[in-house]
Amino acid sequence: MANQTIPESHLELFERPVIGNLATLLPDGMIQVNPVWVDYDGRYVRFNSAQGRQKDKNLKKNGIATMLLVDPENAYYWIEIRGCVVEITNEGADAHIDSLAKKYLGADSYPFRKASEVRLTYKIQPERVNAFGPQR
């Protein structure tokens, strides 16, 4: 499937602290949906999680992901991104979660980190993008 980009009309959903809803496929074929902090680097939709969580296991098994962002002020302004995770890395992941903590909490560092956890950044290559609604 052809790679797609995020339309300019919906970029601001990634600039504001809008929660992403991440859908992944469980081993039994059921779908798991988790709220995640998310950003967009101009090429990839990125989120961060701890190694070993179920979403991590799901994505390492098949790499298929869908991300949905809905404007909390206008439910008719949303974007859905379907694609595959093309990279999972711990390189720079601590700095990434800290930047997301700044965006979502106004905190300089991620306050919920456990001493034993390994943070990972996931990059989703958008393959299909569906968007609805005008800018606010």
What average pLDDT does the chain have?
A: 96
Mean pLDDT of 81-109: 98
Whole-number pLDDT of residue 136: 53
Evaluate if residue 120 carries a pLDDT over 80.
yes
Evaluate if residue 130 carries a pLDDT over 90.
yes
Evaluate if residue 135 carries a pLDDT over 80.
no
39-87 per-position pLDDT tens digit: 999 999 999 999 999 999 999 999 999 999 999 999 999 999 999 999 9
The distance of Cα 134 from the centroid of its chain, to the nearest Å, equals: 22
Dig out the tokens for 10 from the structure.
């919906």
Whole-number pLDDT of residue 16: 98
Of 100, 121, 124, which Cα lies nearest the Cα of 43?
Answer: 124
Torsion of Cα atoms, 107 then 112 then 114 then 117, to 10°: -80
Whole-number pLDDT of residue 6: 95
Q: Apex CA 73: angle with CA 48 and CA 110, to 5°?
A: 25
Mean pLDDT of 86-112: 98
Q: Percentage of the chain with pLDDT > 90? A: 93
- Fold adopted by 8-132: Pnp Oxidase; Chain A (2.30.110)
Whole-number pLDDT of residue 45: 99
For residue 34, what pLDDT band results from cuts at 50, 70 and 90? very high
Each domain of the chain, given as residue ranges in start order, spans 8-132
For residue 4, what pLDDT band results from cuts at 50, 70 and 90? confident
